[in-house]
A = this chain, B = another copy of it.
Amino acid sequence: MPKLGMELIRKRELIRATTAVMHESGLAEPTLAAICARAGLSSSSIVNHYFESKQDLLECTMRDLAAGFLGEVALRVSTARSALDKVRAVIDANFAPSQCTPEAVSAWLWFWSRVPTNEVFAQIERAIDDHVVGELKRALHEIVPEADVDDVAEGIMALMYGFWLRFALDQKKLNIQTACRITQDAVVSKLSLYGQGHAGACPSSPTPGLF
């Protein structure tokens, strides 16, 4: 029964199953057998039917994840008015529900753990990073002194990556909403020092401060 569009459906099923397996079997190397079993398909031959190889499936899976993430960023940033709102939009995108399911978080950590090994993954990672950091810096340029842009951007990225890593390690240890709030607060208080944000210029009052 050569249904049209079967290819797309199967691919999506397999990609979804891949992230599920990454999560369920720890972050161990997912096997094709496990992925196919999870997708309800028998025989791992089907993977080589729709993908060039296991590596291809994994790359597609990560590209899919990355596309979703960059989409969240683009969507939110494009609707932000002020520079500060753009910064906040980037942070919101990082903690967006679609990126924070246990499966997604596991997939991200799995992906990161393979970046040093795998050149293709490294390229994807660099592309994501360049895009997000670029977005961040473009906004920060309008808010903080030129000399501070890099450090502030780097700080924000580290904070988000750190929360993600810690969430992946133990999902009971951390609450995503809390993580997002802490990050947002950190930025607000930080930028308020430069006379931006909702706060006044000099934080003489018991200003929020970082974290």
Contacts and interface: CB of A to CB of B under 8 A. Distances in A.
Contacts of A203: 193, 202-203, 207
Contact of A162 (B161, B192, B208): B161
Interface residues of A, number: 58
A178 B166 contact: no
User: This chain: how many copies in the complex?
Assistant: 4
A188 to B, nearest CB: 10
A87 to B, nearest CB: 12
A204 B189 CA distance: 13
A151 interface: yes
Interface stretch (A7-15, A61-69, A167-175): A167-175
Interface stretch (A34-42, A70-78, A113-121): A113-121
Contact of A113 (B110, B155, B160, B174): B110
20 contacts: A25-B117, A26-B116, A26-B117, A28-B114, A28-B117, A126-B170, A129-B170, A148-B211, A154-B182, A155-B159, A157-B162, A158-B162, A159-B159, A161-B161, A162-B165, A165-B165, A189-B210, A190-B209, A202-B203, A209-B210
Interface of A: 23, 25-29, 106, 109-110, 112-118, 122, 125-126, 129, 148, 151-152, 154-163, 165-166, 168-170, 173-174, 178-179, 182, 186, 189-190, 192-194, 202-204, 206-211
Given A109-B113, A155-B210, A162-B162, 11 more contacts: A26-B117, A27-B113, A28-B117, A29-B29, A106-B116, A109-B116, A115-B169, A122-B170, A154-B166, A159-B162, A202-B203
